[in-house]
């Protein structure tokens, strides 16, 4: 059986596992958007590697559409992961990461607002925080930019 691992992140990954018979560490670099055949072995070997890495988020490439979460690495047995699945997953990952970042900014502002209210400084609310990212890492980067304002509401006295 052959085990293919596809990297759907935007950074280079090193896929590592140990050979069952020898315990020897195998490390295989996989570039962004690429895939590699990482193992050509028995069913038992392939299943052991897959089960070990599923704990860390490895997902079957045929189940990606049911997954509504970020997918870093996916796998396929006996045939390569299709290019369309890799491309779609990379695009979906951008959406998941953007939503997650927005949620963390909102939670951070809510925590700061609550902390200031409880500090006894006389703060009564109405805080506004802006987040802006003008460009990606380089001038040719087409990454979506961030430009949002998050505002807290003034609350009445308890």
Last residue of a domain, one of 34, 65, 86: 86
**Residue pair 67/59 in contact by the 8 Å Cβ criterion:** yes
Whole-structure pTM value: 0.74
Q: Tens of pLDDT along the chain (158 residues)? A: 999 999 999 999 999 999 988 889 999 999 999 999 999 999 999 999 999 999 999 999 988 876 678 899 999 999 999 999 999 999 888 888 888 888 898 888 888 888 888 888 877 777 778 877 766 666 666 665 677 777 777 665 54
Is residue 73 located within the same domain as residue 101?
A: no
Q: Identify whether 147 is part of a domain.
A: yes
Is residue 77 located within the same domain as residue 126?
A: no
Number of domains forming the structure of the chain: 2
Is residue 56 located within the same domain as residue 114?
A: no
Residue 126: domain span: 95-151
Is residue 54 located within the same domain as residue 108?
A: no
Q: 40-54 burial by CB neighbour count: b if 16+ within 10 A, else e?
A: ebeeebbebbbeebe
């Amino acid at each position: 059986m052959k085990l293919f691992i596809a990297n759907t992140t935007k950074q280079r990954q090193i896929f590592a596992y140990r050979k069952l018979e020898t315990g020897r560490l195998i490390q295989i670099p996989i570039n962004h958007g690429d895939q590699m055949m990482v193992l050509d072995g028995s069913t038992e070997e392939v299943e052991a590697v897959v089960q070990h890495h599923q704990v860390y988020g490895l997902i079957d490439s045929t189940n990606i559409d049911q997954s509504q979460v970020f997918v870093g690495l996916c796998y396929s047995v006996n045939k390569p992961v299709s290019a369309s699945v890799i491309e779609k997953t990379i695009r979906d990952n951008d959406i998941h990461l953007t939503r997650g970042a927005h949620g963390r900014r909102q939670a951070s502002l809510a925590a700061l607002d609550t902390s200031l209210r409880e500090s006894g400084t006389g703060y009564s609310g109405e805080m506004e925080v802006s987040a802006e990212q003008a460009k990606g890492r380089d001038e040719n980067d087409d990454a979506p930019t961030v430009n949002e304002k998050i505002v807290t509401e003034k609350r009445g006295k308890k």
